[in-house]
């Protein structure tokens, strides 16, 4: 940390960053002392050949040209490699903040060097970063896609169905249960598409295509305020391009192979 490094500095749930037209140099670079020697900085990876540290700070460093940006606005401009570092830093900072005491005996935990874990010096319990899998399913029926909106979405935006994996459940079981619970539809021919870590707060999104197998759309009013079948040529407003949901829906529109049976 006594050498020049890149810094992901979080203040008020925003990151200090500067984005130029080329998307480079988005993280401030310098010595720890340039940024007030942030306490408990975490090494989260490398950026442009230099170590990259993350830390929570209470006030902005002096003489910086960088500004505080929300994660979502950064994701739209940062590029895949920088986004990956931002997600990792955010998840690790949150995990450390939320696991300061042993969940078993209440003793303050200590950070283990060499791996991402915290250990209790009293009872030895080890805590790893929490990662919560979320299954996302895009259901096809011929040319149509099943899209729904949660009351939490931006106005007018529709997306694929998604829900948290429950304890003891496989991804496949979760996919069928979520679709059944949220819209009353049965699915078949589940195909894995891809995954994306998503730090709101600690999700791993796991996306699938599926085909319609029966039932009538009956939204669960607790989770879904509207749902319907949409032709690939006449889709409603969709999530932002940086989201896995959008990548999944775009892929379904491009690939004839994924038109339902
Ligand atoms: Zn303990």
Quote the pLDDT of residue 20: 67
Tokens of 186: 């049965």
**How far does the centroid of ligand 1 lie from the alpha carbon of residue 109, in Å?**
8
Give the chain's residues under pLDDT 50: 258-261
Distance 127 CA to ligand 1 centre (A): 10
Cα diameter, the chain: 62
Q: How far, in Å, are 15, 44, 158 from residue 59 at the CA level?
A: 12, 21, 38
Nearest to 96 by CA among 58, 57, 121, 127: 127
CA of 58 to the centre of ligand 1 (A): 29
Question: What would you report as the CA-atom Rg of the chain, rounded to the nearest whole angstrom?
Answer: 21
Residue 169 is predicted with a pLDDT of 98
Q: Report pLDDT for 77.
A: 83
Residue 257: strand, helix, or coil: helix
- Tell me the CA–centroid distance for residue 119 and ligand 1, in Å: 8
Enumerate residues with CB within 5 Å of ligand 1 (an ion): 102, 104-105, 107, 120, 122-123, 125
pTM of the predicted protein model: 0.88
201 CA from centroid of ligand 1 (Å): 25
């Amino acid at each position: 940390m006594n050498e020049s490094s890149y810094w992901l500095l979080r203040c008020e749930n925003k990151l200090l960053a500067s984005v130029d037209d080329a998307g480079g140099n988005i993280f401030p670079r310098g010595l720890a002392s340039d940024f007030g020697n942030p306490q408990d900085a975490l090494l989260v990876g490398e950026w442009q050949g230099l170590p990259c540290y993350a830390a929570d700070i209470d006030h902005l460093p002096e003489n910086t040209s960088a500004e505080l940006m929300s994660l979502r606005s950064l994701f739209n401009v940062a590029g895949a490699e920088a986004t990956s570092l931002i997600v990792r830093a955010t998840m690790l900072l949150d995990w450390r903040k939320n696991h300061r005491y042993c969940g078993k005996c209440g003793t303050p935990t200590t950070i283990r060097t060499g791996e991402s874990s915290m250990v209790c010096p009293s009872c030895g319990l080890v805590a790893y970063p929490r990662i919560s899998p979320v299954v996302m399913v895009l259901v096809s029926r011929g040319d149509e896609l099943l899209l729904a909106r949660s009351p939490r979405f931006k106005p007018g935006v529709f997306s694929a169905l998604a829900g948290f994996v429950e304890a003891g459940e496989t991804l496949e079981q979760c996919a069928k249960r979520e679709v059944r619970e949220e819209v009353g539809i049965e699915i078949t021919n589940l195909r894995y598409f891809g995954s994306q870590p998503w730090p709101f707060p600690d999700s791993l999104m796991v996306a699938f295509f599926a085909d319609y197998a029966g039932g009538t759309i009956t939204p669960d009013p607790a989770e879904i305020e509207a749902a319907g079948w949409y032709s690939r040529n006449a889709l409603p407003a969709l999530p932002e391009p940086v989201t896995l949901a959008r990548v999944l829906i775009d892929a379904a529109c491009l690939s004839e192979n994924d038109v339902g049976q």
